Structure 1
Amino acid sequence: MSDTTDQTPTTTPFVSIIIVNYNGGELLTRCVLSALASQQIDFEIFVVDNASDDTSLATLRAAVHNDKRVTILQNERNEGFAKASNRPIPQTRGQYHLFLNPDCLIQPDTLYRFCQTLAQYPHVGMAGALVRNPDGTEQAGSRRGTPSPWRSVVRVLHLDKLLPNHPRFKSFVLTQEPMPTEPTEMEGISGACMFVRRQAMEQVGTMDEAYFLHCEDLDWFMRFRQAGWTILFIPDIEVTHIKGACSRRHPIRVLWYKHRGMVRYYRKFFRQQYPIWLQWGVITAVWIRFAMLLLIQSILRKS
């Protein structure tokens, strides 16, 4: 992305980190400690707990003691990811917000490098990092296109593999594409690590709380781009994501929320763009996929 402006912040940036926890175990503490090691940038951390019943909060409190940079907010019930993420925003002070999953680990210079990059790109409303699996490979959602109904058909039918060089049959998962060498505009980044400019968030609005779990990030990406803000992928900022730590105990429930979110997302953004037969075909395919995965889960639990 070459159209940078030589712009530096007039004041020292301040970052508000928001971490939503649900039975994150010791990974929550590792996540918060990695953020507390941040250098060169002033920050605050809000941990919003969705009524966890494990020892994750007790372990965290023992590790951070009375560190005033960390505020813990406890919900009486599981409010879902979007609503919990939105909860602390009225009391945050940051010009930037980092929405970070509790099973992510950042580096001491992560906040500084995010702030430094966004200062050079004033039209960027949100940025993401190169998100890696624990084995060092790039995670599938690290950089992605918009999962429109057509692209979903392409992915389900593997048309991208049958016709890999045809632009009409490209998947929304971009991990097979060459890695950019500089910050690059993307349609979507990983929802596990979203660095958001407050000015943009105030214009676009917070996450849609009608999504309980999954697809709220896709919704946000669409709304940011519709409002004229750019989403940036920064390949030289790396985050480790130990995926699924908060959802392993309830895999079927997570599958339900994910597929319900997909249906809402398609209806919200693509209702006017696609013929009704394709819309209903994709929605039917979503629920067939859910039924198949549910059957597989049931078989695995019995075996």
Structure 2
Amino acid sequence: MPALDTTPVILSVIVVSADSGPSLRDCVNSVFACTTPLELLLIDNASSDGIPQAIARARENDSRLKVIYNRANLGFGPAINRAAAQARGQVFLILNPDCLLEQAALQRLLDVANTEQKAGLVGAVVCDARGVPDPASYRRDPIMQRALATMFKRNAEGVNVTGQMPDHLVEAEAVSGAVMLMPRRVFEWLNGFDEQYFLHCEDLDFCRRVRDAGWRVLLAGDVRVLHGKGGSSRHRPVFVSYYKHRGMWRWFRKFDPAAHKPHLATMVWLGIWAHFLLKIPGQWRGLMTR
């Protein structure tokens, strides 16, 4: 039996795994290396790699860890919601299983959430192993014109905010779902993530609903978090791409004014799924050459 831990829980870190590979161990270790009082809820979407079970065995005496096993892959948002229902902290940090968290970064995110008026969600700049920021760290709502500009690489305002990544606190329309810190009350007010998304775009949806409810979405540009990106999806790119495109269609129907015009909605639907089909050959070639 784990020893009774009477340390007050300030923060609940939620990590969703789905055959996330060895990077999951590194993620968990980085979280527990932080000194902030916290708990880690690792919720597993029916992984077959055995790593969540190995982590649970290795830390069976650590009361800060709670591993939740789903019998099927429920998707990202539904898993987050189920973990949040069992969380004890007053602040939630949603962290991808291939991210590495450092105490200084965590403390900065907490400070922003505690000091900024109407802070509803705080994100960080996620970077690859070379330190290059992911453009998806600082985004706009993917309304039709922006999505088209991004999809076809037009020289126009796209979904990602172009230019040098900010190195200071800025207000954003959306941040990366790889690192999202929020007060528990905000998450509960919004009833968590929309479970009609399976994978991708649920973070854009959540950011939009945070803003619609009167809170602010903030990007702590001075916080950099290493993100492996795609650790659980490299071996199933078509599966991931399908749900990404399905998520794009759902976001469009919920929030884009163009969705109220049948002819535009039809064009967007055709464009989304044509884009999905066109990407499949390249995805299969990439998979076969690994």
* Same structural fold, with TM-score higher than 0.5 when normalized by the shorter chain: yes
**In the TM superposition, what whole-angstrom CA distance separates every residue of 1:80-122 from its partner, at most 9, and x where no partner exists?**
1111111022221212100001010011223222111211113
| Correspondence 1:220 to 2:211 | no
Equivalent residue, structure 1, for 2:189: 203
Q: Deviations over 1:234-266 (max 9, x none)?
A: 012111110100112211111111111111111
Assess if the C-alpha contact under 8 Å between 2:235 and 2:287 holds in 1: no
1:173 aligns with 2:160: yes
Match of 2:127 in 1: 132
Residue 238 (str. 1) matches residue 224 (str. 2):
yes
> Distance between the aligned counterparts of 1:295 and 1:188, measured in 2?
31
The separation in 1 between residues aligned to 2:283 and 2:125, in whole angstroms, is 30
2:29 to 17, 29, 33: 33
> Which whole-Å CA distance do the structure 2 matches of 1:272 and 1:157 have between them?
19
How many residues of Structure 1 are paired with residues of Structure 2 in the alignment? 282
Q: How much has 1:143 moved relative to structure 2?
A: 0.9
Corresponding position: 1:82 with 2:77: yes
Instruction: Give the aligned partner of residue 253 of structure 1.
Output: 239
Deviates more, 1:149-158 or 1:238-247: 149-158
Instruction: Return the offset for 1:58.
Output: 3.4
The equivalent of 1:4 in structure 2 is none
Deviations 1:27-84 (A, max 9, x none): 1111011010112x21111000001000211332344342110000000111111111
Which residue of 49, 56, 61 corresponds with 2:56? 61
1:298/1:118 CA distance change after superposition, 3 Å: closer
Cα distance between partner residues in 1 of 2:110 and 2:9: 7
Distance change in 2, residues 1:114/1:280 (3 Å): same
Change (3 A) 1:50 1:273: closer
| Partner Cα distance (1:195, 1:301) in 2 | 34
**Superposition deviation, residue 282 in structure 1:** 2.0
Question: Aligned to 1:87, what secondary structure does the other structure show?
Answer: helix
Query: For residue 9 of structure 1, what is the aligned residue in structure 2?
Result: none
Q: Which moved more, 1:150-159 or 1:17-26?
A: 150-159
| CA apart distance, 1:297 | 2.7
The structural deviation recorded for 1:296 is: 2.4
- Using structure 2 for the length normalisation, give the TM-score: 0.91
What is the CA–CA distance in structure 1 between the aligned matches of 2:41 and 2:288, rounded to whole Å?
40
- CA shift, 1:302, in A, is 6.1
Deviation at 1:273, TM superposition (A): 6.3
Give 1:72's match in structure 2, choosing from 67, 74, 79: 67
Please, what TM-score do these two structures have when normalized by structure 1?
0.88
Instruction: Indicate the RMSD between aligned Cα atoms, in angstroms.
Output: 1.8
**Structure 2, unaligned stretches of length 5 or more?**
1-7
Instruction: Name the residue aligned to 2:39.
Output: 44
Q: What corresponds to 2:15 in structure 1?
A: 19
Give the Cα–Cα distance (whole angstroms) in 2 for the partners of residues 223 and 27 of structure 1: 31
Q: Which amino acid aligns with 1:178?
A: Q
Conserved in 1, the CA contact under 8 Å of 2:133 and 2:165?
A: no
Partners of 1:103 and 1:241 within 8 A in 2? yes
Q: Residue 47 of structure 1 aligns to a residue in which SS?
A: strand
Q: Which runs of 5+ in 1 are unaligned?
A: 1-11, 161-168
Are 1:134 and 1:242, in contact at CA under 8 Å, matched by a contact in 2? yes
Maintained 8 Å contact 1:106/1:238: no
